[in-house]
A and B are shown apart, each in its own frame.
Chain A
Amino acid sequence: MNTVLIVPTDSTPMEVLLLITTVGAPLAAAAAALFFGWCRAVAWASVAASAAILTCAVIVAVRTTDGASLVAGGVLRADALTAVMLLVIGAVSIIATWAGVSYIDEELASGHTDAKGARLYAVLVQLFLAAMVLAVLASNLGVLWAAIEATTIVTAFLVGHRRTPAALEATWKYVMICSVGIALAYLGTILVYYAGREAGIDSHGSLEWTQLVAHAGELDPGVMRLAFALLVLGFGTKAGLVPLHSWLPDAHSQAPAPVSALMSGVLLSVAVYALLRYHVIAVAALNPTFVRALLLTVALASLVLAASLLLAQRDYKRLLAYSSIEHMGLVVVGVAVGTPLAVAALLLHILGHGIGKAVLFCGSGQILAATGTTQISGVRGLLMRRPVLGATFALGLAALLGLPPFSLFASELGLARAGVQAGLGWVIAFTMVILLVVFVAITVRTAPMLFGSNSDPVDSPPPRTAVATAPLVTALVALALLGVFAWPLGQLLHTAAEIAGTR
């Protein structure tokens, strides 16, 4: 906890510039897309904006890894935890926007979208990124809330990009359920504000996270209990957790593949990030047993639900969506455990899951383009017919299932160790059983897609395979390197875990 309480010195112009660039880069790309429409330069500008986010993330990481925090203008604030989330956003968005280049080109070529649709897509994706960056950079929990709410607004028409009746249905459910969930989180935020003011924090500072953490012990437990329950329900909705999870499989299966990648890889974890920030306050203000019990209930219920629906899944995009619910459940088990080791492991897991899911969703977009169906039964012998695509998809699945050398193996092991150390052996045992069920379910479901007979008529040759698969291969290599050499991240994760971890 000690690192949290370091009062930031006055912000230097460099810091202000750095933090503003991180939000500004995607906004600039959005403006360019709005102005010029979808063209080569705009497509690559969107990748460049993601690269800018990643570069800023690395600089922020270097400067915060010793426990310092950067501030800009009283609105933006970055510490090591922020840096990890920025790295996640940067890494996943590079894959998604890079894969988006060939995705939109193919949509245009095949007549699935027009110039207007492509322009809207390019603008909204960048606004989506800007909102997520703002969410993790916000020093004020009210602004964090507003930024997460904004993600719902900008992604609404991305989910509905394909304009089919099914996409429309998914969009309505998505906007309605997420708005309701996030409204509950707003009520929770207001109650935290109330508790903060009554604890003597002045009204301008009482939604500042640092102030609330400093005064967490004085917050009224009765109010905070209700507030935290609402926050778990509300941000849990956005993270795809039970009970308001039903938007997720629909939205993820209907959205364009790169958008699914961003939603699954980053948006869900930004919501978990909000929970992680509140968790620090809640543990100090409330009975830690209540906090842990609440989070474990939600997390284990999500795991069970995801596993049961994975068992009989017939649609591969929905399969990936339910796998996201499963992974978020696992991450929230980590939040419930809450020790620094658990937090470090869950942050690594968020990064690994983000990259792995981005590979799989972008890959699934290419499978859909090649076969024209999202039914598992409609895809056979992928490894024979499309060796490169099939191999990336297979390796992505292996990463997702937690096989070495990918980093999810290390993070799942870390989560299990942290849980056992915290005396939650039964929870970990139960989680492992669920993971085993998921492992069997996904393997049995997807094996025929990859292997299977090759008797079907060969479909059209893939256009420009290199451009489409390069981002996916790069991501897989990065994921494997991350699993083998975690050292560049080790110190950063450690510092972040000290900030968000509780004992």
Chain B
Amino acid sequence: MSTTTYTLALNLICGAFLLVAVLMLLRRDLAAIVRLLTIQGVLLAALAALLGAREGSLELYAVALGVLLLKAVVLPIVLRRTLRDSSEARETKPLVNVTASMLAATLLTLLAYALSRPLVALAPSPATEAVPIGLAVVFLGFFALVSRRRALSQVVGFLLMDNGISATAFLVAGGVPVIVELGVSLDLLLIVLVLQILAARLQVTFGHTDLDELRELRD
């Protein structure tokens, strides 16, 4: 693969990755948000595969396959099951409206570019120059997490953060050692399963999963 093609493909994938994250902030239909998350999982796997092709690393191809399986197949299935069991198809009352979310997304992306300057400066390459996008998605995920009230929206925000972190790992260092990658993926899967069970219990106990309405524990 020529360097031009590689750079073009890398930038396309990363651009789409950020775009999907922003769209997730704008949508309120939870099913659509889960679909967007699936697309992002595919993009993440594509990123890993692209870097694998670039470095001729079989290990990265295997990691790409694992990412595809976990983030584009297994986790969306878990989320869809949670969605089916809950009575809520929409994030009805987000704490921040769409215009403000857009503004926040812009500011957070700028912040990511500012913060990642030393990361790019250490080893400039097409891959590290895309690192700000990984960080931006981490911030967008965090923003989604704190500005949404439904249990499922918060899980999605957390997964968005995690996708951003994985993308950063691929971009700066071609992924972490496989033993760590395995541990991380297993932990992620288990956390999401735990959150799914908890969301189901919230639904049964309170009849909704609006976390802002839970106020038993106060000082």
Contact = CB atoms under 8 A, between A and B. Distances in A.
A and B co-occur in one complex: yes
A50 B53 CA distance: 49
B61 interface: no
Contacts of A170: 217
A190 interface: yes
A364 interface: no
B6 interface: no
A153 B193 CA distance: 10
A160 B187 contact: no
A194 B176 CA distance: 9
Interface in A252-290: 253-254
Contacts, number: 129
Interface residues of A, number: 52
B151 A223 contact: no
Contact of A179 (B121, B191, B211, B217): B191
Residues of B contacting A: mostly: helix
B179 interface: yes
A222 B121 contact: yes
Contacts of B205: 165, 168
A77 interface: no
Residues of A contacting B: mostly: helix
Contacts of B195: 172, 175-176
Contact of B122 (A143, A153, A194, A312): A194
Given A149-B187, A168-B202, A250-B217, A190 B122 contact: no
Contacts of A157: 194
Interface of B: 115, 117-119, 121-123, 138, 142, 145, 151, 154, 158, 161-162, 165, 168-169, 172-173, 176-177, 179-180, 183-184, 187, 190-191, 194-195, 198, 201-202, 205-206, 211, 214, 216-217, 219
26 contacts: A75-B179, A142-B184, A149-B183, A149-B184, A149-B187, A150-B187, A152-B191, A153-B187, A156-B194, A156-B198, A165-B205, A165-B214, A166-B216, A179-B191, A183-B158, A186-B165, A193-B172, A193-B173, A194-B119, A203-B177, A204-B177, A207-B176, A207-B180, A222-B121, A249-B219, A309-B219
Question: Which 10 pairs of residues, A with B, have the shortest CB-CB distance?
Answer: A222-B118, A142-B180, A146-B183, A194-B172, A169-B214, A166-B216, A149-B187, A250-B217, A190-B169, A153-B190
Interface of A: 75, 140, 142-143, 145-146, 149-150, 152-153, 156-157, 160, 165-166, 168-173, 175-176, 179-180, 183, 186-187, 189-191, 193-195, 197-198, 203-204, 207, 220, 222-223, 225-226, 249-250, 253-254, 309, 312-313, 318
